[in-house]
Structure 1
C-alpha cells in the first residue's frame, strides 16, 4: 500500500482492517516514521486497495468508548466528520455507522 499525505499507520490499519500494527513493515523500520509515497506491507505482502475501498465506501460501526480521532487518527477524523455530515464531531454513539 502506498502512504498518502496525512496517513498514520493506525489510520492505514483502520482503513484496511488489518491489525495488529506490529505486523506492518515500513521502509524506515519505525511505524511512527512514514512519508507520502512510502510502500508499506502487511506480514510481508503488498496490500492493494481497490476503488471499492475509496473514502466514503467503507463503514465503521462505532463501539462504546470510541472517538472519531481514536478511530480515524488525528489526520482523518475531520474528513470523516465532513463526509458523514456530523454537526458535532465530539458526539458519536455506539452503533452509529460512519462512512470513510
Structure 2
C-alpha cells in the first residue's frame, strides 16, 4: 500500500489526478494546465502509470491519459477506519461544545 501514498505525496501528481478526474487528457493539455515542461509531465505520468493510478489509451497518433479508479478504491478502503475515528472525534467535540454555557462557548464565523 505504500507505493500509492509515496506517489501521491508529490503535489504535481495530485494536480494531474485532479485534472484527469474531470476527463481524459493529452500530455499537451496537462502541460498547459500545469505550466510544466512536456518531459516533466511525462515523468509524472510514468510514475502514476507504474502505480496503476493512471491508464493510457492510444487513439491514432494521440495518447489519452485517464484516471484508473480501482487503486483509489483500495486507498479509500484503507482510509475508511481512520475516517470513522475522525468522525467520532468530531462528534465528541460537538457533544462537548453543546454542553458548554453560551458565554464560554467559542465563537464561530458563519
| TM-score bracket relative to the smaller structure | under 0.3
TM-score by length of 2: 0.26
Higher helix share: 2
